[in-house]
């Protein structure tokens, strides 16, 4: 198990990376900005580029309300050729700054991901995996003329064939109940309190869920590494990198998104301890019985329900839609959230988190797991 980390990213050694504008959002076109950064200086790049959705008309639901689709100016290209030229330019610029042991992630949909993938291979990137992000709450296909588009694809690639790279094989097991992590990830789209809104409207049409970035950053970087996002939008990558004790650099063309991202990141505190520790008990428990996710899936607890640490009503966490616990800006498993309140000491979340029964008695959540076992047998 890894030791607890109390330092902020600035305290990590970043050998030779002092020339980088660390922990900043830079306003500008990413192709030009990337040219100003030193060669081979970045450990991890996550890119969520324009999708080139090619929406020809506004979309309406059956009740004639307008669908809040991605129709922003930044997503419009005159033709596939223009999109490919743009893609080749930003991918080449990313490859130049990526360290020889670094990796690049690109997320996209069927509109663009095949073009992006081919250009990546043409430029010399070596594809390590494609990940399917299965949206547990996708937007329906309102016109009923195609399948509901319920996933996005992420391509993960190293700089060249055979280059070394970081893969935190054990750390990511924490996202899969202690078992080997697979290439299909089930996560909800960004909604509820996580979604940044201004006067009730979405601040950014394509804000990605923090849980997605958490997996990516934990899987393919180390504390103290430099994570760059050339299309940072509302700042998701930078906010999660900061929380996970990585350095971050975000590039964004639109000044109002830059403002939103800066404000958001300012409010993020680095997590008290290293979230990438694997709790070996998770693995043995996966063999022994239901996981916390199973308890939530069975409806014994619901997203939004409060839990209380050591039955203390002043130490509260909220169950998230992906069956973790949220305490302010911190989100983690029941064990990680338990350690949050025990100064980093190991904590068995099953015994320390309490829920309120209908009769207002507080009981440890382990009771719910046992109830599931009883129903199943």
Return the residue nearest ligand SAM (CB atom): 233
The distance of closest approach from Cβ of residue 238 to ligand SAM in the complex, given in angstroms and rounded to an integer, is: 10
Choose which of 206, 220, 333, 336 interacts with ligand SAM (CB under 6 A).
206
Let me know: does 177 contact 293? Beta carbons within 8 Å.
yes
256 versus 363: smaller Cβ distance to ligand SAM: 256
Interatomic CA distance for residues 377 and 364, integer angstroms: 21
75 versus 282: smaller Cβ distance to ligand SAM: 75
43 versus 252: smaller Cβ distance to ligand SAM: 252
Does 109 interact with ligand SAM (rule: CB under 6 A)? no
The distance of closest approach from Cβ of residue 48 to ligand SAM in the complex, given in angstroms and rounded to an integer, is: 4
87 versus 333: smaller Cβ distance to ligand SAM: 87
The distance of closest approach from Cβ of residue 239 to ligand SAM in the complex, given in angstroms and rounded to an integer, is: 9
Residue 201 in tokens? 């409207």
5 versus 154: smaller Cβ distance to ligand SAM: 154
Please report, as residue ranges, which positions from 219 to 258 form the binding site for ligand SAM (by CB under 6 A).
231, 233-234, 236, 251-254, 257
Choose which of 103, 153, 207, 220 interacts with ligand SAM (CB under 6 A).
207
Distances (CA, A) of 132 to 70, 96, 101, 175, 365: 21, 27, 24, 15, 32
48 versus 277: smaller Cβ distance to ligand SAM: 48
The distance of closest approach from Cβ of residue 17 to ligand SAM in the complex, given in angstroms and rounded to an integer, is: 22
Q: Tell me the window of 59-67, 204-212, 216-224, 309-317 that interacts with ligand SAM (CB under 6 A).
A: 204-212
Interatomic CA distance for residues 37 and 247, integer angstroms: 15
151 versus 370: smaller Cβ distance to ligand SAM: 151
Interatomic CA distance for residues 81 and 78, integer angstroms: 8
Residue 95's contacts (CB-CB under 8 Å, 6 or more residues apart) are 104, 123, 124, 125, 159
The distance of closest approach from Cβ of residue 107 to ligand SAM in the complex, given in angstroms and rounded to an integer, is: 8
The distance of closest approach from Cβ of residue 134 to ligand SAM in the complex, given in angstroms and rounded to an integer, is: 18
Q: Tell me the window of 57-65, 145-153, 201-209, 345-353 that interacts with ligand SAM (CB under 6 A).
A: 201-209
The distance of closest approach from Cβ of residue 197 to ligand SAM in the complex, given in angstroms and rounded to an integer, is: 13
Interatomic CA distance for residues 372 and 27, integer angstroms: 51
Does 50 interact with ligand SAM (rule: CB under 6 A)? yes
Choose which of 208, 245, 285, 324 interacts with ligand SAM (CB under 6 A).
208
Interatomic CA distance for residues 236 and 214, integer angstroms: 10
Distances (CA, A) of 203 to 81, 233, 242, 258: 30, 10, 21, 11
Residue with tokens 């709450």: 137
Let me know: does 237 contact 231? Beta carbons within 8 Å.
no
Interatomic CA distance for residues 7 and 224, integer angstroms: 10
Does 30 interact with ligand SAM (rule: CB under 6 A)? yes
Total residues binding ligand SAM (CB under 6 A): 18
List, in sequence order, every residue forming a beta bridge with 326; answer none if it has no partner: 318, 331
Choose which of 26, 34, 37, 48 interacts with ligand SAM (CB under 6 A).
48
Binding mask 51-80 for ligand SAM (x = CB under 6 A): -----------------------x------
Please report, as residue ranges, which positions from 278 to 337 form the binding site for ligand SAM (by CB under 6 A).
none
> Residues in the site for ligand SAM, rule: CB under 6 A?
29-30, 48, 50, 74, 204, 206-208, 231, 233-234, 236, 251-254, 257
């Amino acid at each position: 198990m890894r030791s607890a980390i109390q330092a902020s990213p600035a305290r990590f050694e970043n050998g030779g990376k002092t020339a980088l504008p660390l922990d900043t959002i830079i306003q500008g076109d990413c192709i030009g900005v990337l040219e100003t950064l030193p060669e081979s200086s970045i450990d991890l790049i996550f890119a969520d580029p324009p999708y080139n959705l090619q929406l020809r008309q506004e979309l309406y639901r059956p009740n004639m309300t307008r669908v809040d689709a991605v129709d922003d100016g930044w997503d419009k290209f005159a033709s596939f050729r223009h999109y490919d030229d743009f893609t080749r330019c930003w991918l080449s610029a990313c490859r130049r700054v990526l360290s020889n042991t670094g990796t690049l992630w690109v997320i996209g949909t069927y509109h663009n991901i095949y073009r992006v993938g081919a250009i990546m291979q043409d430029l010399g990137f070596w594809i390590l995996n494609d990940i399917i992000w299965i949206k547990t709450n996708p937007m329906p296909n309102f016109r009923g003329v195609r399948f509901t588009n319920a996933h996005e694809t992420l391509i993960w690639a190293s700089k060249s064939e055979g280059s070394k790279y970081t893969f935190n094989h054990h750390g990511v097991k924490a996202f899969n109940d202690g078992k080997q992590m697979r290439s299909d990830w089930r996560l909800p789209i960004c909604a509820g309190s996580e979604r940044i809104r201004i006067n009730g409207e979405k601040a950014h049409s394509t804000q990605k869920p923090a849980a997605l970035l958490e997996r990516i950053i934990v899987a393919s970087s180390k504390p103290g590494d430099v994570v760059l996002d050339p299309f940072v939008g509302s700042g998701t990558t930078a906010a999660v990198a900061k929380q996970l004790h990585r350095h971050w650099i975000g590039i964004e063309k639109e000044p109002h998104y830059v403002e939103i991202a800066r404000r958001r990141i300012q409010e993020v505190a680095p997590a008290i301890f290293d979230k990438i520790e694997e709790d070996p008990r998770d693995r043995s428990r996966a063999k022994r019985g239901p996981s916390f996710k199973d308890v939530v899936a069975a409806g014994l607890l619901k997203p939004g329900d409060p839990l209380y640490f050591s039955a203390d009503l002043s130490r509260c966490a909220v169950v998230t839609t992906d069956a973790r616990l949220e305490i302010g800006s911190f989100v983690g498993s029941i064990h990680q959230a338990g350690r949050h309140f025990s100064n980093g000491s190991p904590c068995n979340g099953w015994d320390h988190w309490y829920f309120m029964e209908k009769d207002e008695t507080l009981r440890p959540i382990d009771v719910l797991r046992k109830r599931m076992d009883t129903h199943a047998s």
